[in-house]
Amino acid sequence: MTDLTDRYVWAAARTIPETQRAEFDRELRERIGDQIDALVDHGRPHADAERSVLHDLGDPAALAAGYVDRPLYLIGPKYFLTWWRLMKLMYTLVLPLAAGGVVLAQFLAGAEIGELIGGSVATVLAIAVHLGFWITLSFAVIERMPNTTLPKMWEVEMLPPLPDLHRTNRLGELITSLVFLSLLVVAIFWQQFGAVFRDGVREPIPVLDPALWSFWIPYFLVLIVLEMLFAVVVYARGWTWTWASVNVLLNVAFTVPALWLFLSGQLFDPAFLEAIQWPWGNAETERVLTAVFAATFIGIPVWDIVDGFLRAARARSAVAAPAAA
Amino acid sequence: MNTDEMTAGHIQELRRGTVVLACLIRLRTPDYGYALLESLNALGILVDANTLYPLLRRLEKQGLLTSEWNTDEARPRKFYRTSATGEQLADTLMTDWRRVDKALAGLTTGDES
């Protein structure tokens, strides 16, 4: 006789509510005893039979959970989809908004660039962890409360419209825009710490004139955020003439000041120009290069504006087509 | 999943409800878990201990079985007995089982003709 049965029964019974424990203890001992006896009757040594019976009973915690109908999952099928939808909403909408708020608050509080990035990353990470943890915990608690039902979470009216074929294509555009705009933001902050490397050592020479931080760089950052929102809206709604017009406004708001700053020589930090030994070559080369830069500054937004109208026109004819088919 | 596994799965599903019915009928005479297990298996109603013990507890909770501890022997044993509600359910299930059997029979002969 070993103490395995006692240990098994104890391990299972300790998770059972006090009031049911004595009954459970007795039932389990009867079951184990009878099953061991049956094996012993078939000629198995007692210790061997005991081990085999306990092995077949499985994890005592699982056995006890079955006894008191305790779920062996965190969130079951009844609430899983509600939880999942809420999590998606939190991480795609609430978290980015909160992140934007944190950056803005840090900026308004006059945080240094390094402090701004470091502080924001830490705060946003903390928000992300808290969101996930508390929502999941709430659902796990609701799952374990008897007789609770969340209001019905699905109705026929909630059926999504049939997929818009153009929307799938637009997802690629959306991702491209967001990645590009994010990189731009990162570049704006990154350049502040110097973009000139001499012998592999980063020199603290910003590319853009630090004086611009007083107004123009924040102005461009806000515009970039607006561009991001615009990209999301266009993804959700599709190109229309209205959106194409808004696109014109955004492009003008970005390009005109940028071009003006560039041409009036306020865009770049003089120390940076000196470090890269600008101007290269004679006055003629300088003029040509300036013209090339200016053309690029104008060309990209013009192309973007035209592209917006082309897409609006295409979307309109595409909407008409399936109706006719 | 291979065919054997699939067949076993379907057979298990088909038999699931019949174990309840068999318990309700067999426990018109009170008995304890292991004896019930043995007698059902001897009759060819194959059931696993890990299925039967939790099932007995569930049926008792639903009021379909009543129980009493027998402490006459060295090992105390819980004797289950079909309650009045259990009898009613057994009748209903039996009727339904016969109906399904008949329907399936009709379906098979209809197929052959």
> In the predicted model, is pLDDT for residue B20 greater than 50?
yes
pLDDT, mean over chain A: 84
- Taking CB atoms and an 8 Å cut-off, how many pairs form between chains A and B? 35
Residues of chain B contacting A27 with CB distance shorter than 8 Å: 53, 57, 78
Average pLDDT over every residue of A99-105:
83
Query: Percentage of chain A surpassing pLDDT 70?
Result: 91
Taken in order of first residue, the domains within chain B and their CATH numbers are 35-94 (1.10.10.10)
Q: How close B78 gets to chain A, by Cα (Å)?
A: 7
> In the predicted model, is pLDDT for residue A20 greater than 60?
yes
B57, B69, B75 ranked by CB distance to A33: nearest:
B75
> In the predicted model, is pLDDT for residue B42 greater than 90?
yes
Flag if B69 and A67 touch (Cβ within 8 Å): no
Residues of chain A contacting B57 with CB distance shorter than 8 Å: 27, 67
**A32 near A5, Cβ under 8 Å?**
yes
Cα–Cα dist B77/B71, whole Å: 7
Q: How close B111 gets to chain A, by Cα (Å)?
A: 39
> In the predicted model, is pLDDT for residue A324 greater than 60?
no
Q: What is the pLDDT of residue A319?
A: 59
Q: What is the pLDDT of residue A320?
A: 57
Flag if B75 and A34 touch (Cβ within 8 Å): yes
Note which residues in 47-66 of chain B have CB less than 8 A from chain A: 49-50, 53-54, 57
Cα–Cα dist A253/A247, whole Å: 10
* Contact residues of A toward B, CB < 8 A: 26-27, 29-31, 33-35, 38, 56-58, 66-67
DSSP A221-254: HHHHHHHHHHHHHHHHH---HHHHHHHHHHHHHH
> In the predicted model, is pLDDT for residue A153 greater than 80?
no
Query: Percentage of chain A surpassing pLDDT 90?
Result: 26
Q: What is the pLDDT of residue A297?
A: 82
> In the predicted model, is pLDDT for residue A165 greater than 90?
no
Cα–Cα dist A74/A24, whole Å: 25
Question: Given pLDDT bands bounded at 50, 70 and 90, which one contains residue A325?
Answer: very low
Residue A207's closest CA among A260, A261, A283?
Answer: A261
A31, A58, A67 ranked by CB distance to B33: nearest:
A31
Flag if B75 and A67 touch (Cβ within 8 Å): no
Residues of chain A contacting B77 with CB distance shorter than 8 Å: 30, 34
Least confident span in A108-112, A125-129, A178-182, A219-223: A108-112
pTM beyond 0.90: no
What is the 3-class SS of B35-104, one letter each residue? Answer: HHHHHHHHCCCCCCHHHHHHHHHHHHHCCCEEEEEECCCCCCEEEEEECHHHHHHHHHHHHHHHHHHHHH
Q: What is the pLDDT of residue A316?
A: 74
> In the predicted model, is pLDDT for residue A114 greater than 90?
no
Note which residues in 13-52 of chain B have CB less than 8 A from chain A: 32-34, 38, 49-50
Q: Which of A25, A27, A42 is the mutation pick for testing B, counting most B CBs within 10 A?
A: A27
Burial A4-42 (b: 16+ CB within 10 A, else e): ebeebbeebbebbeeeeeeebebbbbbbbbbbbebbeee
Q: How close A140 gets to chain B, by Cα (Å)?
A: 25
Q: What is the pLDDT of residue B63?
A: 94
Quote ipTM for the complex: 0.83
B81 and chain A in contact, CB less than 8 A: no
Give residues with Cβ within 8 angstroms of A207, minimum separation 6. Answer: A191, A195, A268, A269, A272
Q: What is the pLDDT of residue B111?
A: 60
Residues of chain B contacting A34 with CB distance shorter than 8 Å: 32-34, 75, 77
Average pLDDT over every residue of A288-314:
86
Question: Given pLDDT bands bounded at 50, 70 and 90, which one contains residue A210?
Answer: confident
> In the predicted model, is pLDDT for residue A77 greater than 70?
yes
Q: What is the pLDDT of residue A152?
A: 66
User: Strand locations in chain A, DSSP E?
Assistant: 196-198, 201-203
Note the pLDDT tens digit of each residue in B55-105: 999 999 999 999 999 888 888 899 999 999 999 999 999 999 999 999 999
Question: How many beta carbons lie within 10 A of that of residue A208, not counting itself?
Answer: 21
Domain ranges of chain A: 4-67, 75-148, 164-319
Average pLDDT over every residue of A155-178:
77
Residue A34's closest CA among B71, B38, B11?
Answer: B38
Cα–Cα dist A133/A141, whole Å: 12
